[in-house]
Amino acid sequence: MALMTAKEYIESLRKLHTRVYMFGEKIENWVDHPMIRPSVNCVAMTYALAQEPEYEDLMTATSSLTGHKINRFTHLHQSAEDLVKKVKMQRLLGQKTASCFQRCVGMDAFNAVYSSTYEIDEKYGTHYHENFKKFLTFVQDNDLTVDGAMTDPKGDRSKAPHAQADPDMYVHVVERRPDGIVVCGAKCHQTGSINSHWHIFMPTIAMGPEDADWAVSFACPSDADGLYMIYGRQSCDTRKMEQGCLIDVGNAKFGGQEALVVLDHVFIPNEYIFLNGETEFAGMIVERFAGYHRQSYGGCKVGVGDVVIGAAALAAEYNGVEKASAVKDKLIEMTHLNETLYCCGVACSCEGCPTKAGNYQIDLLLANVCKQNVTRFPYEIVRLAEDIAGGLMVTMPSQKDFQSDLPVGREGETIGQICQKYFAAREGVSTEDRQRIMRFLENMCLGAAAVGYRTESMHGAGSPQAQRIMISRQGNIQGKKQLAKSVAGIKE
């Protein structure tokens, strides 16, 4: 099958029987629901750009499995150059959507599971790697969106999976059959889960021998029997449901999406199982997926950051302060922070190396340094954007007020006319344009988009402490001590 178009992708979602719940109700037509559709549009952009000759080099690749042209989001990285192109592709999509385009988790899961299954089979003689290659070939041939599902609810985090009062706090096997397994549990904060054709489930922590039933990885369709999703709230999300208030939304066309994905006795055939009780490899999958996903943030968050910086510069221009040295300096600092993140994403890619399976893995230390910076710099970028924009970003009347023809003034002025008058921008800039950029910044800094930019920068791909643990492991302090001893003339 050829690459899907954006329209074909959206239509393919309508053929699924995915169960979606929101506000205590089942959502029948979730594809067109005003709160969900912006996130569908974001994923659709990954298909649309792959059709454009201008972006072909970034958005597509040649499959190492079939030799066919495929969307890069379904690709197994074959070189450091591939890893760099991944980051550049993610920055491009961040620039085009100013939001989370959701296919990164699947791409990162593909590469982590591919190399890990090879090494599991090498030790145990299992057939997980062949299972995965067949599954990924199916995904590539049909240009599917696959959600990478890793984060379990965890319950009491001081206890291992087997020690939880409720065993469902981690996804686990409840029954083993000759033809497959039955699983229960849930995955939290699942980016793009509703918009995905399939899911890949992975462990979320390293595990011990007693956790064998929880050491499981597999693929299943998003509309599998027993699988359902509960949509996650975002700040200011119901603005999308208000009639005639698209300006108030800020970014009306694009948006992110998270959900709770519940597995209620879901049957998984043997052909879709990639890990089943080999506990010592759970940590490998987690570490490799986390490394790839932390690299991703050096691309996607940078692209969104480009748009935030542009919006802040426009706000300064509309306010008439773009020439002020303090404003210029703030924009320089925002740019410096954003490009530093990009440098980290490119650096961990350039230092990548082949795995035993043959696909390329990023430099884990530098990937974790990248994500550690992402937990900080977007917060400062947002702070500076809010500083430049001013208080109007969060105190402006609604779009309906700006359009109201209700008389209130002594001379018959309407509410709309009063708003137009007192919130006017500099000469040559319409009040509506100023209104739009302020609402956009509100959305990026505080609203629904902040979930996929600011807050996701903190907790996506693991909390800051998770990266610090990996930096400690990968930092080679003992080797550095030896360097110091050698230069200082200290003999063993």
The residue from 254, 286, 318 where one domain ends is 286
Position 409 scores a pLDDT of: 86
Task: Return d(Cα 82, Cα 412) in angstroms, integer.
Answer: 64
340 shares a domain with 281 = no
277 shares a domain with 298 = no
Residue 201 in any domain: the answer is yes
The pLDDT confidence band at residue 297, using thresholds 50, 70 and 90, is very high
How does pLDDT run across 9-63, given as a tens digit for each residue? 999 999 999 999 999 999 999 999 999 999 999 999 999 999 999 999 999 999 9
The residue from 234, 252, 286 where one domain ends is 286
Task: Return d(Cα 282, Cα 313) in angstroms, integer.
Answer: 46
pLDDT (average), residues 208-227? 98
Position 452 scores a pLDDT of: 85
Catalytic residue numbers, as ranges = 100, 104, 191, 258, 293, 297, 300, 456
Strand order in the sheet with 273-276: 146-149, 198-201, 216-221, 273-276
Q: Which domain holds residue 452?
A: 287-483
* 3-state secondary structure at position 404: coil
Strand order in the sheet with 259-269: 25-26, 20-22, 227-231, 259-269, 180-187, 172-177
Predicted confidence (pLDDT) at residue 7 exceeds the cutoff of 70: yes
296 shares a domain with 282 = no
Residue 27 in any domain: the answer is yes
With a pLDDT cut of 70, the percent of the chain lying above it is 100
Residue 489 in any domain: the answer is no
Q: Is residue 165 a contact partner of residue 139, using CB atoms and an 8 Å limit?
A: no
Predicted confidence (pLDDT) at residue 447 exceeds the cutoff of 90: no
- What residue type is assigned to position 216 of the chain? V
> Closest Cα to residue 237, out of 251, 220, 218, 225?
251
275 shares a domain with 420 = no
How does pLDDT run across 106-160, given as a tens digit for each residue? 999 999 999 999 999 999 999 999 999 999 999 999 999 999 999 999 999 999 9
**CB count, 10 Å around CB of 281?**
23
Residue 492 in any domain: the answer is no
Residue 75 in any domain: the answer is yes
Residue bearing the bigger pLDDT, 244 or 341 = 341
Predicted confidence (pLDDT) at residue 250 exceeds the cutoff of 70: yes
Task: Return d(Cα 449, Cα 48) in angstroms, integer.
Answer: 21
Task: Return d(Cα 10, Cα 41) in angstroms, integer.
Answer: 8
Q: Is residue 305 a contact partner of residue 160, using CB atoms and an 8 Å limit?
A: no
pLDDT (average), residues 208-230? 98
95 shares a domain with 69 = yes
302 shares a domain with 247 = no
- The DSSP bridge partners found for residue 262 are 186, 228
Count structural domains, the chain. Answer: 2
427 shares a domain with 295 = yes
The CATH number for 382's domain is 1.20.140.10
Summary mean pLDDT of the chain? 97
Predicted confidence (pLDDT) at residue 2 exceeds the cutoff of 90: no
Burial of 227 (0-12, 13-18, 19+ CB in 10 A): buried
> Closest Cα to residue 53, out of 106, 98, 99, 3?
3
Task: Return d(Cα 250, Cα 445) in angstroms, integer.
Answer: 11
Q: What is the DSSP letter of 184?
A: E
The residue from 286, 314, 336 where one domain ends is 286
16 shares a domain with 143 = yes
317 shares a domain with 273 = no
pLDDT (average), residues 390-407? 96
The pLDDT confidence band at residue 450, using thresholds 50, 70 and 90, is confident
Measured in Å, how far apart are the chain's first and last C-alpha atoms? 64
Most distant CA atoms of the chain, gap in Å: 91
* 3-state secondary structure at position 300: helix
Alpha helices in 355-476 (DSSP H): 364-374, 377-389, 392-395, 399-403, 415-422, 431-445, 448-450, 456-459, 464-474
- What residue type is assigned to position 43 of the chain? V
The CATH number for 103's domain is 2.40.110.10
362 shares a domain with 343 = yes
264 shares a domain with 293 = no
Q: Is residue 186 a contact partner of residue 133, using CB atoms and an 8 Å limit?
A: no
Residue 488 in any domain: the answer is no
DSSP letter string over 75-125? PPP-SHHHHHHHHHHHHHHHHHHSS--S-HHHHHHHHHHHHHHHHHHHHH-
Predicted confidence (pLDDT) at residue 203 exceeds the cutoff of 90: yes
Predicted confidence (pLDDT) at residue 249 exceeds the cutoff of 80: yes
Position 451 scores a pLDDT of: 84
Residue 491 in any domain: the answer is no
- The DSSP bridge partners found for residue 229 are 20, 261
Helix axes 364-374, 282-319, angle to 10 degrees: 40
Q: How far is CA 48 from CA 44, 72, 404, in A?
A: 6, 13, 38
The pLDDT confidence band at residue 1, using thresholds 50, 70 and 90, is low
Position 86 scores a pLDDT of: 98
pLDDT (average), residues 412-439? 96
Predicted confidence (pLDDT) at residue 411 exceeds the cutoff of 80: yes
Q: Is residue 204 a contact partner of residue 150, using CB atoms and an 8 Å limit?
A: yes
Q: Nearest 5 degrees, angle CA 238-CA 189-CA 43?
A: 70
Residue 1 in any domain: the answer is no
Predicted confidence (pLDDT) at residue 289 exceeds the cutoff of 70: yes
pTM: 0.97
CB contact set of 97 (below 8 Å; sequence gap of 6+): 41, 42, 45, 254, 304
Task: Return d(Cα 406, Cα 152) in angstroms, integer.
Answer: 52
| Token code pair at residue 432 | 């509506």
153 shares a domain with 299 = no
Task: Return d(Cα 304, Cα 168) in angstroms, integer.
Answer: 36
Position 36 scores a pLDDT of: 97
How does pLDDT run across 226-236, given as a tens digit for each residue? 999 999 999 99
